[in-house]
Structures are given as structure tokens and as C-alpha cells.
Amino acid sequence: MQTACLPAGGAVRAAEQTVSPVMAVNKSAPLMNTVGSLQRYIHIKHPRRVLILKRSGQQSVTGVDLADDANSYWRIRGKPDKVCQRGEPIRCGQAIRITHMKTGRNLHSHHFSSPLSNHQEVSAFGENGEGDYLDVWSVQCSATYWERDDVVRFKHDATEVFLSVTGEQYGQPIRGQREVHGMPSSNQHNYWKVMEGVFIQPSSDPVRHDEL
């Protein structure tokens, strides 16, 4: 598995940069997805479905019709034991955490069955961005770096399932939302793409470091 991050405690520096939300990729902006970027993910087979976090007793990760609210934004971060430079391009195969912007919980999976499809459950876990080793996913893409227009898969490091949507819909209190779960095989149900986001740009003048 590839990683562009250093072990915790290693020397790494990153620049403070202010970026604005973008509704479409600017042609002058870098083409890579980067550490610290804030993004919305859309499912390829169900193209009106975005990855979202909803409260329903526990923190449920679901797919909903295109929603323009804070519940559909996620931040790319490094592994718990790594220090990553903000704005650093993400390599294909790199291990990352995907953290919900509004709640600070991480995309998470474990060996429990999901309620509708009986695949592996996907939920949100942790406090203030800190959870456990079951929050780590790797980006599956075909080039050297994860580019913004790439169609990718997210593979769970610990259990090796793929983040997927197959169409099962919940009833009340989250009627119409589709179950997001983990599947053991790569197939058409686990393709995702960045829809839009706030992209942290790489710096050529590093001034400090962040532990993401």
C-alpha cells in the first residue's frame, strides 16, 4: 500500500492557504485531489445519489438525492499514525480517512451486517476526527495520483470490502435514502466520483505542519 505521509512525529511542513468553495473544477486549479480537501461524492451507477450522514438513532451513512447541505461534505485526511501535508496530492492506493465535516466522525466499517442488504455495515465513528483503525480506506484508481475527474473505488483496509450502493431504500425516519454498505467484490456498485468541493492547493513555500 502506498502512502505519501510520514510517520507521526516526522518532520513535515505545510502552508496556510485560504481557499473558497467551488461548484465546478476551475481549469487553472490543480488536477489532483489533495489532503485536507473538502468534497462531495456522487455514486456512478445511481448518479443522483450523494454520500451523506444522517442521524437515525446511530450515525447512518446513506445515499440521498442530490442535497446541497453540510451533511454531504467530507474531508480527506491521513491515517491515524501518519502526518500528512495539507495540499499534498493523494496517490492511487494511498490509505486515507474520510471525515464528515459537520460531525467530525469518520467513514467506518466493521464485521456487522447491514440492515437491508445483509452486506457489511458502513457507519460513522469517532469524535472530533479521532476514531480507530477501522476508519481507514484506500483509494483505488488506475494512475499515479487520484485526479479530480477520476472514477474510483474506496476499499476498507481492515476488512477489504468496497464502499457500495445497490439500491435498497430505508423506510421511516429516513424514507427514500439508500443504504451504503461494504461489498467483498469490486463491481459496478462501488464506483464513486468527486462531485465538487473545496480543494486545498499544494504549497511551494511551506511554513508549518498539520496532523490531519
For the stretch 16-46, pLDDT in tens is 233 333 323 344 444 789 999 999 888 887 6
Report the C-alpha dihedral over residues 139, 30, 212, 127, rounded to 10 degrees: -70
* Parallel/antiparallel/unpaired status of strands 120-125 and 106-113: antiparallel
CATH of domain 34-198: 2.80.10.50
> How far apart are the C-alpha atoms of 179 and 212, rounded to whole Å?
28
Residue range 101-128: mean pLDDT, rounded: 93
pLDDT at residue 140 in the model: 97
The residue among 58 and 156 whose pLDDT is bigger is 156
> How far apart are the C-alpha atoms of 153 and 167, rounded to whole Å?
17
Residue extents of the structural domains in the chain:
34-198
Closest by Cα among 180, 142, 143, 173 to 43: 180
The residue among 13 and 62 whose pLDDT is bigger is 62
Cβ 163 vs Cβ 153: under 8 Å: yes
> How far apart are the C-alpha atoms of 51 and 19, rounded to whole Å?
23
Longest CA–CA span in the chain (Å) reads 51
111: pLDDT strictly greater than 80: yes
Q: Helix (H, G, I), strand (E, B), or coil: what is residue 51?
A: strand
* Sequence-distant (≥ 6) Cβ neighbours of residue 172 within 8 angstroms: none
Confidence of residue 68 (pLDDT cuts 50, 70, 90): low
